[in-house]
Amino acid sequence: MHDQGASRDSGGDPTPSEPIWNPPARVRSRIAERPRPRVDLSAIFGLASGSWAWTTAAQAAIAMSVSFTIALFLIGPQVATLAALGSMTVLYEKKTPYGYRAVALAVVGLGFVASVAVGSLASATLWTGAIAIGAVAGISTWLCQALRAEKPGAIFFVVVCAISTIAPGGLADVPTHAGIAAIGAAVGWAVSMAGAPVRSRHPENRAVAEAFRQLAELMRAIGTPQLDHVQHEASLAVAEAWRIVLLAQTRGYRDTPAAARLRALLRWVSDIHLTATDVSLARTEPLPEAAVVFAEGLADAVGRPDQCPAPDTLDGLYRGLRPRSLEVRLYNRLVRAAQAARRSEHEDEGHGLGLYDSRSPSVASSLRSSLTRDSLIRPTALRMGITVAAAGLLGLALGFERFYWISITATAVLQGGNVVLTVNRSMQRALGTLVGVAIAAWLLMLDLPLPAIIALASAFQGLTQLVVGRNYFYGSVFLTPMALLLAHTAAPFPVTTLAETRITDTVVGSLVGMLGALLLWRRASASRLPQTITTALDRSRAAVVAVLDPDVTIGPERRYRLRRDLRAALLSLRGVYDSAIGDVPRARTTRPLWPVVVATQRTGYLALAALALEKPPAASYITLQRVDLAFQELMSAMREHRSPRLGALPRLTDYPRINMELRALSSSMRTAVAQDQRSAALEAERRAQRERHRARQEVDADL
């Protein structure tokens, strides 16, 4: 995750040399209700928030129809399915800049070709085919997560590998199969890159505009119970915008006025986000709606400067406010952002000129970090590979002719993440497949001509991508007939038998996927949560100490790295907690840590807000040492699973909410430890009762 450093001039703050007035924080904002992942009807059939993926749906349908048709005329219908599946490259890297996307999609296409080659080589025996599919599932999961490839992740690598195991031909046809998949991948690449000539900078503009929209949602959430959740979503959007903009900084573009303008807007939205965070933790009533509407207008102005709201729109909001209050600082930054957005190019020095990070981490460092002990990627990839291989082998042992559907279903189910999401996806997959099989069986019994099958498969593919982001059940309803039409074209099979086996395979694959989630590394997230909290506290400590140290002047590059690393730690913390809370029954010990997570996040965001000041007020050496010791004690208590012995905190007159959140963090840690101890005592008592009952039964049996 990436954030920004300070600008090279003093344009970021209206009065950068003076401390921003922070009113005494006597009231702490309410903690949002903790996430509650559940297995219920709303989770299975309800629609998630978000928009419909019309563009992705159209691109997926076009890529499949074109690739299928090309392969059909060049080779024949039985292997044309591989080209249709190769065109799934169009589903990857949908948000990244076109320059980066061109290379990334080429790598994805090579991955598809390699998966086809592996599947074709392993098709000599069914048992080696099942193991090969599992290996592809594990390796592709590892690479997609380590290299941050966007969804859909490993599923289509597994699908193309599985289908290639049944493609007609022997070892001599492996190059042909790989070449057909390469044709499909090339078509998907071309369709995904089609927008580059006309909207070459649309991905970057869209990412920055989305950051402004999430900022508006954060401002709207001030004073509401959902503040902590919306804060996380806004921080995710800002971090994603930084990643996308950095990926776009290619040679020849990064020095242009247009690139500098976009970086300037991103720096403004990042600073405004932190200022809004400061306001949200000091204010218990909502902000005026005019400020929220103004932020939404800035989102529209990212790509269209003529639609930027007029800066004087906010003039009426200043009445009654202290000149150096947090609200005034927020409004001033909104005005300055509007002034930058109204220009089509960056015209002056300051925000937007300096970059202190590379476009992306090296591949080697990303792969190395994914294999460390603290990474969740390694257990996730191992769980995927072992479970998918076991699913295929189980299908063969039970006599399933089309065992690969079991492997594909297990892959799709395990992409849910934690146990609760896996169970939900299992039920959605099974129910959606039941409906989809009925649709596919009816269509296949019509004995449609091949052009109609191509058109229907492409339409179902488009419908799948349209709805799958909102609900996996509806995606499965459309995905199943598409997959069955392709499979039937590759290897014709009696329709009735095909429908029956597809339902059975889906049920077995869903059950195996759930067992894999329950039995393999189920506690990976929960066991890493304390260390993730400690890491976030350590990054917050480094930021706060740097701000308070009177002998240190934070340079732009160091400021950038402090903010980048701290934001990444805070986002990782929430991600690990969200995963751990869905891992039952271990989640019982995770739930009490929600107040700890919230206080840790708030402390980190307040530290980020302090770093956003051009010249933050320093503290005395005694105060600096006591604050550092307080952070060290909290970190030690978390590592040792004990109550912290914090003592009296020094007064931070310029940062009162940091004091408040540190005290709240200490209190919530004591409560969590007490609840954990009570739970352990109750469990020990229940165990002792069971032992006494067993001993009594043995005595009665002897008598």
Lowest-pLDDT range, 161-175, 222-236, 282-296?
161-175
Which of these, 182, 164, 184, lies nearest to 174 by C-alpha position?
164
Tokens of 106: 């080429």
Tokens of 349: 């020095």
Lowest-pLDDT range, 117-131, 354-368, 465-479, 553-567?
354-368
What integer is the mean pLDDT of 546-565?
86
> Which letter, b or e, does each residue of 349-362 get, where b requires 16 or more Cβ atoms within 10 Å of its Cβ?
ebbbbbbbbebeee
Tokens of 56: 């992705």
Which pLDDT value is given to residue 13? 41
**For the segment 408-446, what is each residue's pLDDT rounded down to a tens digit?**
989 988 887 777 888 888 888 889 888 988 898 888 888
Which pLDDT value is given to residue 587? 61
Tokens of 193: 């890159």
Which pLDDT value is given to residue 491? 67
Contact 447, 485 (CB under 8 A): no
Which pLDDT value is given to residue 430? 87
Which pLDDT value is given to residue 1? 40
What integer is the mean pLDDT of 268-275?
91
**For the segment 604-639, what is each residue's pLDDT rounded down to a tens digit?**
999 999 888 878 888 888 888 999 999 999 999 988
Contact 248, 100 (CB under 8 A): yes
Which pLDDT value is given to residue 3? 43
Q: What is the 3-state secondary structure (H, E, C) of 224-259?
A: CCCHHHHHHHHHHHHHHHHHHHHHCCCCCCCCCHHH
Domain segments of the chain: what residues? 49-197+373-519, 201-342, 523-694
Which pLDDT value is given to residue 598? 92
Top pLDDT among 7 and 304 is at 304
Top pLDDT among 487 and 58 is at 58
**For the segment 205-248, what is each residue's pLDDT rounded down to a tens digit?**
999 999 999 999 999 999 888 888 999 999 999 999 999 998 88
Is residue 312 packed enough to be buried (19+ CB in 10 Å), middle (13-18) or exposed (0-12)? exposed
**For the segment 472-506, what is each residue's pLDDT rounded down to a tens digit?**
899 889 988 888 887 777 667 777 777 788 888 88
**For the segment 2-53, what is each residue's pLDDT rounded down to a tens digit?**
443 333 333 344 333 334 444 444 577 788 787 777 777 777 888 887 788 8
Handedness of CA 158, 159, 161, 165 (dihedral sign): positive
What integer is the mean pLDDT of 667-695?
72
pLDDT band at 363 (very low <50, low <70, confident <90, very high): confident
- Three-state DSSP class for residue 16: coil
pLDDT band at 137 (very low <50, low <70, confident <90, very high): very high
**For the segment 184-196, what is each residue's pLDDT rounded down to a tens digit?**
999 999 999 998 8
- Three-state DSSP class for residue 419: helix
Half-sphere exposure (Cβ direction) of 438: Cα atoms closer than 13 Å: 6
**Residues, the chain, total?**
703
Which pLDDT value is given to residue 499? 79
Which pLDDT value is given to residue 368? 82
Q: Give the C-alpha distances (Å, rounded to integers) separating 625 from 68, 80, 528, 585, 622.
A: 68, 69, 29, 41, 5
Which pLDDT value is given to residue 4? 39
pLDDT for residue 511 is more than 80? yes
Give the count of beta carbons closer than 10 Å to the beta carbon of residue 647: 10
**For the segment 109-128, what is each residue's pLDDT rounded down to a tens digit?**
999 999 988 888 887 788 88
Mean confidence (pLDDT) of the chain: 83
* 535 vs 375: CA distance, rounded Å: 13
- Three-state DSSP class for residue 283: coil
Which pLDDT value is given to residue 543? 92
- Three-state DSSP class for residue 520: coil
- Top-ranked range on mean pLDDT: pick from 75-79, 153-157, 673-677: 153-157
Top pLDDT among 115 and 696 is at 115
Which pLDDT value is given to residue 355? 65
Residue 654's contacts (CB-CB under 8 Å, 6 or more residues apart) are: 19, 22, 616, 617, 619
- Three-state DSSP class for residue 660: helix
pLDDT for residue 307 is more than 90? no
- Three-state DSSP class for residue 166: coil
